[in-house]
């Protein structure tokens, strides 16, 4: 039987079950006894792990390690935690909300960690006895603390910059896991009075640079090309640039391209990529401190959402729009 089932039978929250079975003094004796009785009747063992706030255990939930973005973030988080003599352990949760929640349930039930760092774009809707800090996009985590990037301002600034260069035919290249960025692009375009053609939005089932290659092939078949493109992340942008240039297009005089993340490859291509820098190091530093503060002060109930502004890095892949 899971802690969630015990919570349902006892008529309490999952967090209350976790606290009662770990011997927390926050739960009334009557409630704790009722929970323990249900657990004993169903042969549920109390967790063996005991909290150690001076040398805590931290779990990192990461969607994948195959992408440069997540692998770099994951590595930087591990290095930051090691500065505090913490050796974290990692769960690969994919882009699946149910799997994400099941992993957190298991961690809370087994009391196997003192804190959780989440890089997943999923929210966890239950209160927990284990502190959670969400990274990446702070607005995605209304139910627990987060330090994330202000992607709204980043994409808005990129669109505003393209408008200043005379672009009005602007497209967005996305994939199944970047819907949040696509929605931000649409909202920002509306705020700026830019009418976006459905033909200029390309959503792929593929991943990474292959998306950009596929998208460029698609755009080149349109009766009218967009004059500028924003890609959901840098690998997509670089793939599109490669395919356009291989087919005789000049970047940026024929078409401007902007990426997101400012990863290391942005400066390695023949033409340096204009991109939205997401300041991952700052997010990691602040988020790690926030989690460790929570672990040391478990009675703290304030939820904080810290948002780090993105920065448009202007390089060589955006220029004035061609006159029609």
CATH number at residue 237: 3.40.50.2300
Predicted local confidence at residue 18, as pLDDT: 73
Q: pLDDT at residue 242 above 80?
A: yes
Q: What is the pLDDT of residues 58-78, one digit of tens each?
A: 999 999 999 888 999 999 999
122 and 174 fall within a common domain? no
pTM of the predicted model over 0.85: no
Which domain covers residue 17, as residue numbers? Answer: 3-41
- Domain count for the chain, please give it: 3
Average confidence (pLDDT) over 31-58: 75
Mean pLDDT (the chain, rounded):
89
268 and 230 fall within a common domain? yes
C-alpha separations of 246 from 224, 229, 242, 272, 274 in Å: 19, 17, 6, 17, 19
* CA 157 – CA 163 distance, rounded (Å): 10
Predicted local confidence at residue 10, as pLDDT: 87
* CA 324 – CA 318 distance, rounded (Å): 17
- 53 assigned to some structural domain: no
159 and 237 fall within a common domain? yes
Q: pLDDT at residue 49 above 70?
A: no
- 49 assigned to some structural domain: no
Q: pLDDT at residue 144 above 90?
A: no
- 92 assigned to some structural domain: yes
* CA 236 – CA 213 distance, rounded (Å): 8
7 and 114 fall within a common domain? no
Question: Cβ of 258: how many Cβ atoms within 10 Å?
Answer: 28
- 313 assigned to some structural domain: no
155 and 253 fall within a common domain? yes
Predicted local confidence at residue 143, as pLDDT: 74
Query: CB burial class (10 A; 0-12, 13-18, 19+) of residue 216?
Result: buried
């Amino acid at each position: 039987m899971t802690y969630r089932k015990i919570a349902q039978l006892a008529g309490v929250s999952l967090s209350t079950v976790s606290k009662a079975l770990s011997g927390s003094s926050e739960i009334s004796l009557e409630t704790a006894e009722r929970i323990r009785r249900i657990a004993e009747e169903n042969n549920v063992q109390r967790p063996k792990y005991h909290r150690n706030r001076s040398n805590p255990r931290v779990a990192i939930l990461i969607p994948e390690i195959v992408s440069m973005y997540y692998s770099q973030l994951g590595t930087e988080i591990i290095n930051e935690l090691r500065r505090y003599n913490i050796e974290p352990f990692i769960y690969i949760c994919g882009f699946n909300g149910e799997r994400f929640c099941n992993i957190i349930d298991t961690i809370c039930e087994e009391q196997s960690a003192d804190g959780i760092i989440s890089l997943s774009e999923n929210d966890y809707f239950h209160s927990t006895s284990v502190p959670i800090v969400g990274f990446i996009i702070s607005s995605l985590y209304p139910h627990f603390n987060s330090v994330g990037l202000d992607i709204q301002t980043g994409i808005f600034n990129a669109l505003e910059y393209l408008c200043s260069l005379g672009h009005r035919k602007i497209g967005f290249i996305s994939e199944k896991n970047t819907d949040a960025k696509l929605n931000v692009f649409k909202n920002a375009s509306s705020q700026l009075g830019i009418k976006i053609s459905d033909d200029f939005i390309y959503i792929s089932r593929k991943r990474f640079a292959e998306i950009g290659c596929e998208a460029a092939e698609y755009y080149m078949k349109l009766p009218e090309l967009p004059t500028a493109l924003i890609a959901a992340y840098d690998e997509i942008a670089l793939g599109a640039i490669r395919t356009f240039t291989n087919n005789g297009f000049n970047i940026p005089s024929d078409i401007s391209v902007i990426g997101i993340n400012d990863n290391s490859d942005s400066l390695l291509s023949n033409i340096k990529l204009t991109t939205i820098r997401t300041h991952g190091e700052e997010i990691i530093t602040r988020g790690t401190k926030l989690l460790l503060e929570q672990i040391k002060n478990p009675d703290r109930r304030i939820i904080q959402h810290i948002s780090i502004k993105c920065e448009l890095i202007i390089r060589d892949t955006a220029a004035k729009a061609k006159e029609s």
